Amino acid sequence: MNAIAIDARIEAIASERRHGRRVRFTIYFVALALVAWSVKAIVVDDTDWQRLFGSSLLSTLKSFLDVDWSLTKDLWEPALETVLMATVATLAGLVLSIPVAWLGAANITPLGKTTYYIGRFLMTMSRSVHEIVWGLIFVSAVGLGSLAGILAMAVRSIGFISKTIAEAIEDVDPKPVEAIRAVGGTRFQILIFAILPQIIPVFVGNMIFEWDINIRRSTIMGLVGAGGLGLMLFRQMAMSNFGGITMVIIAVLVLIVFGEVVSHYARKAVI
């Protein structure tokens, strides 16, 4: 290759790199312009700046900081109810998740693609609908109270637990399955002796994790009349008791920390 060809090749590479830089800078500029426009349209134009920097903001913050400690004695029962709701909902969701995972695991689903798609649809439907929406549905079905919250969280838990279990079943080592099948084992024996021992760590770990999540969910279930600390929070909001709202939020934070600690040590002990 002569010098002219080499120079032409170098110039082509340099030109290509300059073009690439121009394209990247253009993309960055357009993205930055879109972000700036979004901030102006959503934040700047729609914010009540007079209220934000006025005296009402400081007075409201002062009201929230004036914690209503007198509510402490009234929070023990809702806090216990919240934990019990989360526990029962997790157990119910686990029981309901087992048949859904069985249908949604491609390697053990009973009727091929038909039941596989049914199982996957149930997983998707459970995860797609927010627990507040499930709560509203069950409150209208069974009335106000903890039962509606438990049912809502149980149905919401199906999507996560069944999906992780189904994927764990699909990823099992096929050798034990083939060995039991080779000696004439039934589907039930394959499930119990070849698949279940391999997925127990995932099964238990995800159940504990879902319980930890349901602790958080149960604290807001009361906003739709489903009991627990959420109901206490809703009542304080309805009475405009800002100090009481802060007290309930503190109780929720303590409960969430409790759930984190319990789930951490439970995972270490079981898995």
Contact in structure between 226 and 148 (CB atoms under 8 Å): yes
- State yes or no: pLDDT of 32 exceeds 90: yes
DSSP assignments along 218-252, one per residue: HHHHGGGT--SHHHHHHHHHHTT-HHHHHHHHHHH
User: Could you report the per-residue pLDDT of 199-254, keeping only the tens digit for each?
Assistant: 888 888 888 888 888 888 887 777 776 677 877 887 888 888 888 888 888 888 88
Domains contained in the chain, number: 2
Pair (152, 27) in one structural domain: no
Contact in structure between 169 and 195 (CB atoms under 8 Å): yes
Pair (143, 31) in one structural domain: no
Pair (167, 203) in one structural domain: yes
d(CA 203, CA 208): 9
Q: What is the mean pLDDT of residues 76-88?
A: 86
User: Could you report the per-residue pLDDT of 149-161, keeping only the tens digit for each?
Assistant: 888 889 999 988 8
Pair (227, 132) in one structural domain: yes
- State yes or no: pLDDT of 54 exceeds 80: no
pLDDT band at 28 (very low <50, low <70, confident <90, very high): very high
The C-alpha angle with vertex 187 and arms to 186 and 192, in degrees rounded to 5, equals: 100
Q: Lowest-pLDDT range, 91-105, 118-132, 227-241?
A: 227-241
Q: What is the pLDDT of residue 51?
A: 66
Q: Lowest-pLDDT range, 30-34, 38-42, 84-88, 227-231?
A: 227-231
Pair (115, 220) in one structural domain: yes
Q: What is the pLDDT of residue 184?
A: 83
Classify residue 144 by its DSSP letter.
S
> Does the CA dihedral 202-207-212-216 come out positive or negative?
positive
Among left, alpha and beta (phi > 0; psi -120 to 50; other), residue 198 is alpha
- State yes or no: pLDDT of 3 exceeds 70: no
Which residue range is the domain that position 219 belongs to?
72-270
Helix (H, G, I), strand (E, B) or coil at 91: helix
- State yes or no: pLDDT of 142 exceeds 70: yes
Pair (25, 112) in one structural domain: no
Pair (157, 223) in one structural domain: yes
The H or E element that residue 134 is part of is: helix 131-142
- Is residue 259 a part of any domain in this protein? yes
Pair (140, 201) in one structural domain: yes
Structure tokens at 229: 């600390």
User: Could you report the per-residue pLDDT of 163-198, keeping only the tens digit for each?
Assistant: 988 888 888 888 888 888 888 877 778 888 888 888
Structure tokens at 217: 């969910």
d(CA 144, CA 153): 15
Which residue reads 């279940």 in tokens? Answer: 196
Q: Which residue has the higher pLDDT, 27 or 11?
A: 27
Pair (114, 42) in one structural domain: no
- Is residue 52 a part of any domain in this protein? no
Pair (195, 136) in one structural domain: yes
Pair (15, 140) in one structural domain: no
